[in-house]
């Protein structure tokens, strides 16, 4: 069964900013046109994470937008999220595929050709690749990969590639033109004075990049 993968993943964050909660950011992003919301929270108890994720899942379900939980398969299962995204140090895709419902969307971060091919063979529905540009959203981020490397990864991946890392409204179209199915952003939306406006601007650039490829 082929699963639909969104082109604009907004990852909510309450570390870079404290004006909005995860749920508020999700609502603003959806209003701006985000077709996927990702919940990522590295701190807090499991009970707290379930509470926040449930708020987001309720909101996302009302708008027909999939919620993807980063790292935590248990949280995703607890709230009935549409999907989960695993980093390179998180649960192996093979285990996630075994314990999660068959319809669950599974994304996997991969930085090399070998890891991309392995993640796909293990059952990943899409690959998260980056950082494309330098980013301050993730303290342990690797060096920027650039568009040429992104283009190569998109060529070898037999599934959608979601580019992440330092992508802004000024570079989103170029990333799509390089072959990415879509983008994932954190600070470009969460740290923007008007998250809804920022989301809409990013979506416009994505659509411009898609039109160029046609």
* pLDDT tens readout for residues 50-80: 999 999 999 999 999 999 999 999 999 999 9
From the candidates 40, 72, 82, 145, which is the catalytic residue?
40
Question: Can you tell me the mean pLDDT for 133-159?
Answer: 87
Under 8 Å CB-to-CB from 85, ≥6 apart: which residues?
A: 38, 68, 69, 70, 71, 106, 107, 108, 109, 128
Q: Which fold has domain 8-213?
A: TIM Barrel (3.20.20)
> Does 145 qualify as catalytic in the annotation?
no
Distances in Å between the Cα of 127 and the Cα atoms of 143, 164, 179 are 18, 10, 13
User: Comparing C-alpha atoms, which of 8, 10, 17, 78 is closest to residue 49?
Assistant: 78
User: Comparing C-alpha atoms, which of 198, 209, 139, 205 is closest to residue 10?
Assistant: 198
Average pLDDT, the chain: 95
State the pLDDT confidence band at 30, using cuts at 50, 70 and 90. Answer: very high
Distances in Å between the Cα of 170 and the Cα atoms of 6, 11, 100, 149, 203 are 20, 19, 37, 19, 12
> Does 40 qualify as catalytic in the annotation?
yes
> Does 3 qualify as catalytic in the annotation?
no
User: Taking the model in full, what pTM does it have?
Assistant: 0.95
Instruction: Tell me the Cα Rg of the chain.
Output: 16
From the candidates 3, 97, 111, 138, which is the catalytic residue?
138
From the candidates 72, 109, 145, 187, which is the catalytic residue?
109
What does the pLDDT look like over 80-132, one tens digit per residue? Answer: 999 999 998 899 999 999 999 999 999 999 999 999 999 999 999 999 999 99
Question: Can you tell me the mean pLDDT for 137-159?
Answer: 87
In the predicted structure, residue 191 carries a pLDDT above the cut 70: yes
């Amino acid at each position: 069964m082929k699963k639909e993968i969104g082109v604009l993943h907004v990852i909510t964050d309450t570390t870079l900013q404290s004006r909005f909660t995860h749920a508020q950011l999700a609502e603003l992003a959806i209003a701006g046109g985000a077709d996927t919301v990702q919940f990522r929270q590295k701190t807090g108890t499991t009970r707290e994470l379930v509470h926040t994720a449930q708020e987001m899942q309720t909101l996302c379900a009302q708008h027909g937008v999939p919620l993807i939980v980063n790292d935590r398969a248990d949280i995703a299962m607890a709230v009935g999220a549409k999907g989960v995204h695993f980093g390179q140090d998180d649960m192996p895709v093979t285990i996630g595929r075994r314990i999660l419902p068959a319809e669950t969307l599974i994304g996997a971060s991969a930085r090399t050709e070998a890891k991309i091919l392995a993640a796909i063979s293990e059952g990943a529905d899409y690959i998260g690749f980056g950082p494309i540009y330098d980013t301050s959203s993730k303290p342990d981020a690797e060096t920027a990969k650039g568009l040429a490397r992104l283009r190569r990864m998109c060529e070898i991946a037999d599934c959608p590639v979601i580019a992440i890392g330092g992508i802004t409204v000024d570079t989103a179209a170029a990333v799509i033109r390089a072959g990415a199915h879509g983008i994932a952003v954190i600070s470009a939306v969460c740290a923007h004075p008007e998250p809804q406006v920022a989301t809409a601007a990013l979506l416009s650039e994505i659509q411009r990049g898609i039109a160029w490829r046609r």
